[in-house]
Amino acid sequence: MLWAVATLTFLLFRLMPGDPTLNFLSPTFTDETRTALLKSFGLDKPLWQQYLIYLGQLLRGDFGRSFLQQAPVADVLLAALPNTVILTLVSLCIAYAFGIIAGAFLAFRRGALVEATAIPAALATRAAPEFWLGMLVLALFAFQLGWFPTGGAVSPGGSLGSLGTRLTSADFWWHLCLPALTLTLFLQGLPLLLMRATMLEVMNDEFIVMARMKGLSRWSIVMRHAARNALLPVVTAFALGLGASIGGNVVIETVFAWPGIGRVLVQAVQGADYPVAQGAFIMIAFVLVIMNTVADLAYAWLDPRVSVGAHR
Amino acid sequence: MRTANAVVRFMRGEPFAAVGAAIYAVIVIMALFAPQLAPYDPREMLRQGRRIARYLPISSEHWLGTTAGGHDVLSQLIYGARAALEVGLTAAIAVVAIGTLLGLLAGYLGGWVDKLITRIADIALGLPFLPFMLVLAALTTPGTRVVIVTVALLLWPNTARVIRSQVLSLRERAWVEAARVTGCSTARIMFVHVLPQVLPLAALYGSVAIGWAILAEAAASFLGFGDPESISWGVMLQDAYANQALGRGAWNWFTPPGLAIVLMVLSGFLVSRGSEKLLFPKLAEQ
Amino acid sequence: MTLLSVRDLHVRYTTSDGTVRAVDGVDLDIPAGSIVGLVGESGCGKSTLARALMGVLPGTGHIAGGTITFEGRDLITLAERERRALRWRRMSFVPQTALNALDPVQRLRAQMLEVLCERGGLSRSVALARAEQLMHLVGLDPARLSDYPHQFSGGMRQRASIALALALEPSLVIADEPVTALDVIVQRQVLDVLRELQSRLNLAMILVTHDMAVIAYTCDRAAVMYAGKVVESGPVRAVLEAPFHPYTMGLTHAFPDMRADEVILLPIEGAPPSLLAPPGGCRFAERCPFAEARCHDMAPPLIEVAPDHLAACWRSDAAEELRAQAARPQTWAR
């Protein structure tokens, strides 16, 4: 799978109509400089040779060097990756925690008015473009109210530092607030609706009827039996969501100028920095594929019907 | 007359679907009658006296004010419906066509065809959507074509998967067996007998796919990879952001296009949720 | 002494087509320490009755009238909290298919402990010991407490359900088609377990089933239900060997069908009446080979036709002669 994605990326970047180098090299380079650059990036060799070099480089974790920044692509990516991961994880966790509780609550307390308002509201958050939500949040909390910074991950004059410094810096977390809020708002709709739907299904299952027969309290029935069973698909969704968000954060990171992988990709594409763009794309795709696999495994592991074999 | 009654009864029973359909209808009307409905030409730089009418607030002449370039927001909003429908419908049809066809083939033919299609679907699912679209846009030309192609290439697996399951269960039914026995060719069975049965399901996914396509177009435009010549809601938002509308508090500019997108995508969700009961009554009875 | 006494019970369901009168005026007595079989074809209301006794009806169902007197108290007038207190402690339930009835993500031990500790108030260690005891009681290896429901075979799952049902030593166990989903040999085993436990612990049991053979094998008493009403009840020997109601007569005669592999237990043509709008008069009259004019006009009451034997038929005085006719296949042919 990973191999397939890597190969596809290679083909994508090399076989597009037109000379890819033209897109990514400045036309002010002289012919000699251009040939020299081509040679140093290995672009003058036949395609299949380039492919093998490419695979070899990938396996060694070598993504090449950035055209624009004087640094290996890997460094650029690794500096940006934690920012995306932190943003995504924080938002996903809050969104799912909220969604699960709210979803269970909605399944528990059914009522025409509650459902007529809550469900469309949740659907609406999923229907909204994330960047527009970001724009609204920015306009309100940053510009109008001035409670939060308007972008970036550090205040002017500061620098990001290592991962440890970031995690302990209050400034960092303050900057994280708005993008995280936006992302959380956007993400919570899915777990909410999913949890509610699976809860409703589970509540009709026979073992819930049995639980009532046993005289267990409603609380016990809902929390211990229904919720546990209903959580299975939600956990899978979480893993899938993690994979998808890493790539989908592109717009949020742009709105808030959050220095994550998505933003790196956008800037690289806009600035014709081909190795960085390719590297960022591969990294995002890999995370997606890995999380998809994790999701499958997680479901199998969590559901004893699948993990523990059938009767002896 | 009978179908009209059935539709009315359906609408009463499924308020969600009714609301969704109503929103769709409004948007379609907006798109079809844009020239009549819009008070101004969306591309016209309006003037107030000798100066360009920038950032005008809400007023009786400009119900939603004007943009940084002096364009009437409301007119742009109304014309934006056209772009939305164009992109949405084209992409939705493409996704549904590919997904249905591949799902049909995989489900009915089984064997290596099924395995191959499933493999390709896995790869399509392994590619992140926005990054792919970005890269594709950068390497070819930005614009709605890229959006439609990306949607068609990456979003068909969901439809295909569902169609495939339905085809798998339909395949075992008696009338398919009967068709086989009377010597119908495989192609004929697939397309004349099985396909019509799965079309309602495909249509369901189509209505949701329209929404995804619009969101994709909006994101692409926002990042600067859309078609700058067109007037779409996504372009409006990008315009607003780039012109610091947020800092200026020009809510009248950047809120409506987003709301329009929300409504359009939401209506897709609502219609598909509501239609489930109509198309699959057995499912509801369980 | 009578442990449970049902008088004129009405249970109804609201559906989109109208109100279904699933249980329409049922009288039933369960003496302490006896096994009573509740038999009837599907749709006759026996499962609804069982669930109404437990007080756990689906959302669309409700009790529309009558009394259920259990250990001296009318269950219908009890507040939900008191009703809940009784559940499982005084009366418990064995479901039809334990696979769906047991929580699939919990081990058996956890489900036992839940009942024993939370509802029985036992400490964890005492509860564990009791759980093992219960497993022995139903003939299961206590080591299997660590397993999940799907790891058990059908018969063993039913035994586990029985163990759960007995956990708090109730005085009444209601078993809803407990062996229907099992094959014949396993059926025997599970029924043996039930019978043995019932006599050892002196429980009262209601066994709901559509299979006359199960009733004959297991029960002390039988009550026959048809279209929402009890049409005959009494000691099982009497009901099976000397029935007073034509429906029971039909049930107890099995005619092997030349075309089919299995023996058809119900030679009676036709189907029960719709419970949305039950007919006035005897509900069985449509299908009864012995029906007369008055049968269609007035519903016969459930009266004592022999010592401790009740039946609802206008022609119960001619029962002996009717039994002779019922023994001939031609009577039932239409």
Give the ipTM of the model, two decimals please: 0.80
pLDDT classification of B135: cutoffs 50, 70, 90: confident
A293/A295 Cα distance (integer angstroms):
5
Nearest residue of B to residue A205, measured between CA atoms:
B286
Count CB atoms within 10 A of the CB of residue B83: 23
Instruction: With beta carbons under 8 A apart, name residues in chain B contacting A142.
Output: 246
CA distance C85 to chain A (A): 7
* pLDDT(C179) > 70: yes
Q: Which of A5, A139, A150 sits opposite B126 (nearest CB)?
A: A5
Nearest residue of B to residue A139, measured between CA atoms:
B246
Q: Per the CB < 8 Å rule, is A213 touching C119? A: no
CB distance C49 to C38 below 8 Å:
yes
Instruction: With beta carbons under 8 A apart, name residues in chain A contacting C103.
Output: 207, 211, 225, 228-229
C38/C52 Cα distance (integer angstroms):
14
pLDDT classification of A14: cutoffs 50, 70, 90: low
Q: What value does the mean pLDDT take over residues C209-229?
A: 89
SS3 category, C44: coil
Q: Which of C102, C118, C148 sits opposite A216 (nearest CB)?
A: C118
Measured CB to CB, residues of chain A less than 8 Å from chain C are: 205-207, 209-217, 220, 224-225, 228-229, 232, 303-305, 308-312
| DSSP string for residues in B2-47 | HHHHHHHHHHHH-HHHHHHHHHHHHHHHHHHTHHHH-SS-TT---E
Q: What value does the mean pLDDT take over residues B150-175?
A: 83
Instruction: With beta carbons under 8 A apart, name residues in chain A contacting C148.
Output: 304-305, 308
Which of A132, A142, A119 lies closest to A192 in space, CA to CA? Answer: A119
Element (H, E) at A78: helix A73-108
Q: What percent of chain B has pLDDT over 70?
A: 91
Q: Which of A207, A309, A312 sits opposite C103 (nearest CB)?
A: A207
* pLDDT(C206) > 90: yes
Instruction: With beta carbons under 8 A apart, name residues in chain C contacting A210.
Output: 93, 95, 101-102
Nearest residue of A to residue C146, measured between CA atoms:
A308
What are the backbone angles phi and psi of residue C167, rounded to the nearest 5°? -50, -40
C141/C78 Cα distance (integer angstroms):
39
Q: What value does the mean pLDDT take over residues A94-109?
A: 85
Q: Do chains B and C touch (3 or more CB pairs under 8 A)?
A: no
C222/B266 Cα distance (integer angstroms):
59
C26/C43 Cα distance (integer angstroms):
15
Indicate the residue type of A137: V
pLDDT digits (tens, 9 = 90+) for B44-100: 777 777 777 777 777 777 777 777 777 888 888 888 888 888 888 888 889 888 988
User: With a CB-CB cutoff of 8 Å, which residues 153-182 of chain C face chain A?
Assistant: 153, 156, 164
**Tokens 């409506």, located at residue:** B256
A158/A14 Cα distance (integer angstroms):
39
Q: Per the CB < 8 Å rule, is C95 touching A216? A: no
Q: What value does the mean pLDDT take over residues C254-283?
A: 67
Q: Which of A13, A124, A143 sits opposite B249 (nearest CB)?
A: A143
CB distance C320 to C306 below 8 Å:
no
Which of A207, A219, A223, A299 to mutate to probe the C interface, most C CBs <10 Å? Answer: A207
pLDDT digits (tens, 9 = 90+) for A222-260: 777 777 777 888 888 888 888 888 777 888 888 888 888
pLDDT classification of C262: cutoffs 50, 70, 90: low
Which of B2, B25, B6 lies closest to B281 in space, CA to CA? Answer: B6
CB distance C159 to C140 below 8 Å:
yes
Nearest residue of C to residue A228, measured between CA atoms:
C105
Q: Which of A136, A265, A289 sits opposite B126 (nearest CB)?
A: A289
Nearest residue of C to residue A312, measured between CA atoms:
C151
Instruction: Write down which chains contact chain C via at least 3 CB pairs under 8 A.
Output: A
Q: Per the CB < 8 Å rule, is A213 touching C54? A: yes
Q: Per the CB < 8 Å rule, is C151 touching A312? A: yes
pLDDT digits (tens, 9 = 90+) for C75-131: 888 888 888 888 888 899 888 876 777 877 788 888 888 888 888 888 889 989 999
The separation between the first and the last C-alpha atoms of chain A, rounded to the nearest angstrom, is 35
CA distance A121 to chain B (A): 10
Indicate the residue type of C42: S
Instruction: With beta carbons under 8 A apart, name residues in chain B contacting A143.
Output: 246-247, 249
pLDDT classification of A46: cutoffs 50, 70, 90: low
pLDDT classification of C37: cutoffs 50, 70, 90: very high
Q: Per the CB < 8 Å rule, is A311 touching C100? A: no
pLDDT at C319: 85
Q: Which of C84, C101, C151 sits opposite A310 (nearest CB)?
A: C151
pLDDT digits (tens, 9 = 90+) for C231-252: 999 999 998 888 899 888 888 7
pLDDT classification of A312: cutoffs 50, 70, 90: very low
Instruction: With beta carbons under 8 A apart, name residues in chain B contacting A20.
Output: 139
* pLDDT(C38) > 80: yes
Token pair, residue A67, equals 């055209």
Instruction: With beta carbons under 8 A apart, name residues in chain C contacting A214.
Output: 87-88, 92, 114-115, 119, 164
pLDDT classification of A6: cutoffs 50, 70, 90: low
pLDDT digits (tens, 9 = 90+) for C122-163: 888 998 999 998 898 888 888 988 888 888 888 888 888 888
Indicate the residue type of A132: W
* CB neighbour burial string for B48-78, b if at least 16 within 10 angstroms, e if fewer: eeeeebbbbeeeeebebbbbbebbbbbbbbb
* pLDDT(B174) > 80: no
pLDDT at A70: 63
Chains A, C: CB pairs < 8 Å: 77
Instruction: With beta carbons under 8 A apart, name residues in chain B contacting A1.
Output: 122-123, 126
Q: What value does the mean pLDDT take over residues B246-253?
A: 78
Give the pTM. 0.72
> Lowest mean pLDDT: which of A70-84, B271-285, C15-29, C128-142?
B271-285
Q: Which of B128, B136, B138 sits opposite A284 (nearest CB)?
A: B128
User: With a CB-CB cutoff of 8 Å, which residues 5-44 of chain C face chain A?
Assistant: none
**Tokens 């925690």, located at residue:** A97
* pLDDT(A15) > 60: no
How high is the mean pLDDT of chain B? Answer: 79
CA distance C276 to chain A (A): 24
* pLDDT(B171) > 60: yes
How high is the mean pLDDT of chain C? Answer: 85
B156/B179 Cα distance (integer angstroms):
29
Token pair, residue C15, equals 């559906």
Which of B267, B33, B201 lies closest to A126 in space, CA to CA? Answer: B267
The burial of C141, by beta-carbon neighbours within 10 Å (0-12 exposed, 13-18 middle, 19 or more buried), is given as exposed
* pLDDT(A201) > 60: yes
pLDDT at B9: 65
C195 at the A interface (CB within 8 A)?
Answer: no
Q: Per the CB < 8 Å rule, is B262 touching A124? A: yes
pLDDT at A115: 77
Please, what is the angle between helix B2-13 and helix B15-32, to 10°? 110
Question: What's the half-sphere exposure (Cβ side, CA atoms, 13 Å) at C34?
Answer: 19
Q: Per the CB < 8 Å rule, is A214 touching C92? A: yes
Instruction: With beta carbons under 8 A apart, name residues in chain C contacting A308.
Output: 147-148, 150-151
User: With a CB-CB cutoff of 8 Å, which residues 81-110 of chain C face chain A?
Assistant: 84-89, 92-93, 95, 97, 100-106
Sign of CA dihedral C73, C74, C80, C86: positive
* pLDDT(B173) > 70: yes
User: With a CB-CB cutoff of 8 Å, which residues 242-301 of chain A face chain B?
Assistant: 244, 246-248, 250-251, 254-255, 262, 265-266, 269-270, 277, 280-281, 284-285, 288-289, 292
pLDDT at B169: 80
Q: Per the CB < 8 Å rule, is B251 touching A139? A: yes
> Lowest mean pLDDT: which of A9-13, A185-189, A306-310, B143-147?
A306-310
Please, what is the angle between helix B129-139 and helix A2-15, to 10°? 20
Q: Per the CB < 8 Å rule, is A213 touching C148? A: no
Hey, which of A71-75, B282-286, C55-59 has the most confident mean pLDDT? Answer: C55-59
The burial of A2, by beta-carbon neighbours within 10 Å (0-12 exposed, 13-18 middle, 19 or more buried), is given as middle
Q: Per the CB < 8 Å rule, is A135 touching B139? A: no
User: With a CB-CB cutoff of 8 Å, which residues 77-116 of chain A face chain B?
Assistant: 116
pLDDT digits (tens, 9 = 90+) for B217-232: 888 888 887 777 778 8
Q: Per the CB < 8 Å rule, is A214 touching C56? A: no
Nearest residue of A to residue C148, measured between CA atoms:
A304
Indicate the residue type of C76: I
Q: Per the CB < 8 Å rule, is A213 touching C89? A: no
Q: Per the CB < 8 Å rule, is C119 touching A215? A: yes
* pLDDT(A170) > 70: yes
